[in-house]
Chains A and B, each alone.
Chain A
Amino acid sequence: EDQVTQSPEALRLQEGESSSLNCSYTVSGLRGLFWYRQDPGKGPEFLFTLYSAGEEKEKERLKATLTKKESFLHITAPKPEDSATYLCAVQANSGGSNYKLTFGKGTLLTVNP
């Protein structure tokens, strides 16, 4: 069964203090790995899709990387508005007709001014 584990569960940073969030996964053939941002009481907002090991994508202060077993979301010089829960999800090559996303529990990031 596909599994996604995110660490740490919660992270507090000072504004400008760079750090990384981890997403470890086991899946029977990776079709895609997704990062989403979720604000309290709202739906997840799409950030990145990564398809294969070695791939990297960037958006403003965020950079996502992928290896065969894990993905990292690097946050450079974060601002208070980056505070949110960051969710990682995988989609497997199930060989069938189900392209569900399997999510981790998320990392709650708080950036203090």
Chain B
Amino acid sequence: DAGVTQSPTHLIKTRGQQVTLRCSPISGHKSVSWYQQVLGQGPQFIFQYYEKEERGRGNFPDRFSARQFPNYSSELNVNALLLGDSALYLCASSSVFRARRTDTQYFGPGTRLTVL
């Protein structure tokens, strides 16, 4: 079975540019979350989407935005890139948003973004 897929694998941009990262969840999963992981740190929460609606937003500036499509895939957009945006961007999917017990989030391989 295919896991979470992300594209592209690597990306190099210059300051001020805009970037779009893509994520396809595990088949049957309806919730997608985005995380930023800077080298040497744990992942930091950016967004969570369920059924195409934003259900949570982390402490990131408005330059970061996202959306979820009817097929549950998702895009993360970052405008006006800064050097500090260089990181591994991770997408995670889970099958349900609300349950008696929490549902595990499964991560994709990530997109490595380098801002020069």
Q: How far is the CA of A41 from the CA of B10 in the complex (A)?
A: 11
Residue of B nearest to A108 (CB): B40
Q: Is B107 located at the chain interface by the 8 A CB criterion?
A: yes
Q: Is B8 located at the chain interface by the 8 A CB criterion?
A: no
Residue of B nearest to A31 (CB): B102
Per-residue interface assignment for chain B, residues 28 to 44, with 1 indicating a CB less than 8 Å from any chain A CB and 0 otherwise? 00000101000011111
Residues of B within 8 A of A104 (CB): 42
Interface size class on chain A is: 20 to 34
Q: Is B63 located at the chain interface by the 8 A CB criterion?
A: no
Given that A44-B107, A89-B42, A103-B42 are contacting pairs, would A32 and B112 also be in contact in the complex, using a CB cutoff of 8 Å? Answer: no
B residues whose Cβ falls under 8 Å from a Cβ of A: 4, 33, 35, 40-45, 48, 55-58, 88, 90, 92, 97, 101-102, 104-110, 112
A residues whose Cβ falls under 8 Å from a Cβ of B: 4, 31-32, 34, 36, 41-46, 49, 51, 87, 89, 91, 97-106
7 nearest A-B pairs in the assembled complex, by CB-CB distance: A98-B56, A103-B42, A32-B102, A43-B107, A100-B45, A97-B55, A44-B107
